[in-house]
Structure 1
Amino acid sequence: MNIPFLGRRPKPGVPDPAGIADLLAECELLRSLAARERVRLDDSAASLEALDQLVPRWRDDEEVLSWLGNDAGLYLGTVIVRTVPGAAWEIRRDGQPVVRLDSGRQFDVVAHGHEWATSGVPELSQLYGEVAEA
């Protein structure tokens, strides 16, 4: 993956893990929503707790709900990758980004993000706790 605006050139045919992680961490819609609600997303477990406390006004808009579910999952994955030793992004053959733990366990953060956006359960902070303890 050659992403010139990131300022580095990986070897041809070899994915750049840092570049992938940066792209997956963008989460524009979630970051915009959080900023409007004065929630600071600093890639910490505490920010996941703050997101869990938001009033889910987005549930009335199907289009926003879908995008927000993706962003919530990618943000959860970003926090895990940046704070849990040995955790890393992996892109499955079907193109779905998942987090792989040192134990080899894969965690489908996007699916969990959609569950959170739709119903609020399980909470993002609870999911993080389960992964961090694994």
Structure 2
Amino acid sequence: MNIPFLDIWRKRPAADRSPLAAAFDRDPEGVGELLAECELLRARAQAAGVRLDDTPRSLVAIDQLTPRWRDDPEELPWIGNDAGLYLGTVIVRTVPGAAWQVWPGGRPVVRLASGREIDVVTAGLDWAVGGSPELSQVYAEAAEF
């Protein structure tokens, strides 16, 4: 996989910019592809027989997974992070005008055409820890704007 922005990770960014934010400025599509990987979530979903095809329907399926990760304090934040990035990926790929944005500190968010920003990572972590809001619910709210 050719990811041209990775060389930026080796250079020190400006003090107020994270490496991800600097990479996003240079290659937003490449960063979007990187954010869409969500390897751990995809592996857990596949093991449960759920196919993640980057559609809203797959978010409903993820919401129905048995939350075994809650028993593993080391896996919990990783699943939550992946769930948020997957949610963001689905929004960006299916909601007109939605796009990834990276805050200067490095936090990826989704900006809707209306200008509203959704902190998808926080939504994913909340879902992983407590089951709500459901990922499909966050998507539905984003699709309304």
Q: Distance in 2 between matches of 1:90 and 1:32?
A: 26
Runs of 4+ residues over 3 Å off in structure 1: none
Identity of aligned residues (%): 62
> Partner of 1:66 in structure 2?
77
Amino acid at match of 1:94: G
Q: Distance in 1 between matches of 2:142 and 2:95?
A: 8
Amino acid at match of 1:24: L
TM-score (norm 2): 0.84
Q: Distance in 2 between matches of 1:16 and 1:87?
A: 17
Q: Distance in 2 between matches of 1:17 and 1:116?
A: 26
> Partner of 1:5 in structure 2?
2
TM-score (norm 1): 0.91
Gaps of 5+ in 2: 9-21
Q: What SS does the aligned partner of 1:49 have? A: helix
Gaps of 5+ in 1: none
Q: Distance in 2 between matches of 1:119 and 1:111?
A: 12
Q: What SS does the aligned partner of 1:62 have? A: coil
> Partner of 2:115 in structure 1?
104
Deviation, structure 1 residue 64: 0.3
Deviation, structure 1 residue 5: 1.2
Q: Distance in 2 between matches of 1:76 and 1:39?
A: 15
